[in-house]
Amino acid sequence: MDITTSTLQLNTPDGKMETYEARPKDGGARSAIIVLMEAFGLNSHIKDVTGRIAREGYVAIAPDLYHREAERVVPYAELQKAIGIMNRLQDPKVMSDVGAVISHLKAQSYVKAGSIGVTGFCMGGRFTYLSAAHYNKDIKTAVSFYGGGIPMGNPSPLARTGEINCPIYLFFGLKDPLIPQDHVAQINKALTDQHKTFMMKVYPEAGHGFFCNERGSYHADSAKDAWEKFKSFFAQHLR
């Protein structure tokens, strides 16, 4: 499917936020998926994923959650620097950023009314979970890839599980050194105990970042399976 891409400047309480949008060229109102970035920023991989989602027939949009920072994209080799920038993010400010994206989508004639989903990777996977709770009247489907720190924060995204109204799918890697399996178990228990509609897949051979084909941790078989499940889940619950 042919797509068109553009870079937008959305208004937030802290100034303009660069946002990358990709959508099918053929017009008509489409469901939209917000793409929340890894700790490394709104880089080529996140833009590529946004384009892949658009080619499946969605409006896909990725905000730069580092728009308050001087350095907004960090190479994959500089993990500690990325973690340092990530740790300066504040959940309420990120939720205001997501809110700006939702407001933008609601105002577009090419976005189907009441049909917005969210996905994210790494820290973006955590913010996906939080967005599903925080914007539970707007987010209709959520898919989180190796979302680290979901049980962490005050309040943590996990503590807000009861607010989630939409179906959510979570992908993890068993060999992920950054996400303890205890965290995965806590998330499973919280979603189960609160009778949420969810699915979870833990890939036995995958580590952190297994979906990113630009990282050494890329695991092709797990990434391919997760992509197929991603497409099926959104097709079932968002369209």
Clarify whether 122 is annotated catalytic. yes
Residue 116 exposed, middle or buried by CB count within 10 Å (0-12, 13-18, 19+): buried
pTM value > 0.95 = yes
Nearest to 46 by CA among 5, 15, 87: 5
Q: Is 208 a catalytic residue?
A: yes
Give me the catalytic one of 67, 138, 176, 237. 176
Residue 206, both tokens:
């995958």
d(CA 23, CA 32): 9
Through-space distance between the first and last CA atoms of the chain, rounded to whole angstroms: 17
| Domains of the chain with bracketed CATH | 3-237 (3.40.50.1820)
pLDDT of amino acid 97: 98
Q: According to the model, what pLDDT value does residue 239 have?
A: 80
Catalytic residue among 67, 104, 134, 208: 208
Instruction: Report the alpha-carbon distance of residue 7 to residue 22 in Å, rounded.
Output: 9
Rounded Cα gap, residues 47 and 50, in angstroms: 5
> The tokens of 150 are what?
């979901």
- Specify the pLDDT at position 209: 97
Residue from 45, 122, 134, 237 carrying the catalytic annotation: 122
Q: Which mean pLDDT values do the consecutive 10-residue runs of the chain (239 residues) have? A: 97 97 94 98 98 98 98 97 97 98 98 98 98 98 98 97 98 98 98 98 98 97 98 96
Can you read off the two tokens belonging to residue 84? 């340092």
Neighbouring residues of 213: CB distance < 8 A, sequence distance ≥ 6: 45, 220, 223
